[in-house]
Amino acid sequence: MTIYIDTDYKCHTAPGDGLTAVETDYFDGKCAAYVEGYRFVPAGEAWTRPDGVVFAGEMVCPWKPWRELDNAQRAYEQERLEILTAQNEEYEKALSEIEEALK
């Protein structure tokens, strides 16, 4: 998927001024809240933490508390599961109705 990183290498899910598009498979299946809590430093670049420590790319790690991001992702996956379950129930109901009509 395409993500967009700012000058501090924080990830965004939509393009915007000053953002650079990056292709990565790391965030496949992740919700926007999860993606936007991460920092992505591409290969060949480096991010300097406020205390002066330098991290060379390619580095992928959270800048927001990871537990918070994980909770958001779990809630997103639960919501997706409930939607898919509801859809399956609708399909099964429709299929049963078709089977009844064909009897």
Partner 1 sequence: MGEMIPLYGFGGKNGAALSNLTVTAPVGATVTISKDGKSKPSKVATTGTVVFKGLETGTWTITISNGTETANKTVEIKADYNAEITFFSATINITYPAGLTCTATDGVTTLTAPDTSGTWACVVPNAGTWTIALGNGLREVVTIAATGERHTVNKWYIIRSGVPADIGFSTQIISNRTVPTTQGDGYINYKEANGDATGVLTDNAIDVTSVNKIVADINIVTVGTSSNTRFNGTSLVLTPGKAYSSYSAAVADITHYNLSRTKGRNNLSIDATSITGNWYVGFAIGGKGNFNVYDLWLEV
* Residue numbers at the binding site for partner 1 (CB under 8 A): 24-26, 39, 43, 47, 49, 53, 55-67
**Nearer residue to partner 1 within complex by CB, 48 or 87:** 48
Region of 54 on the Ramachandran plot (φ > 0 left; ψ -120 to 50 alpha; else beta)? beta
| Least Cβ distance, residue 15 to partner 1 (angstroms) | 21
| Least Cβ distance, residue 100 to partner 1 (angstroms) | 40
Q: Give the tokens for residue 61.
A: 């790690």
Q: 35: Cβ–Cβ under 8 A, 6 or more apart, which residues? A: 3, 11, 12, 13, 27
| Least Cβ distance, residue 27 to partner 1 (angstroms) | 10
Question: Would you say 33 and 76 are in contact if contact means Cβ atoms under 8 Å apart?
Answer: yes
**Nearer residue to partner 1 within complex by CB, 53 or 102:** 53
**Nearer residue to partner 1 within complex by CB, 80 or 93:** 80
| Least Cβ distance, residue 13 to partner 1 (angstroms) | 18
Q: Report how far residue 39's alpha carbon sits from residue 49's, in angstroms, rounded to the nearest whole number.
A: 11
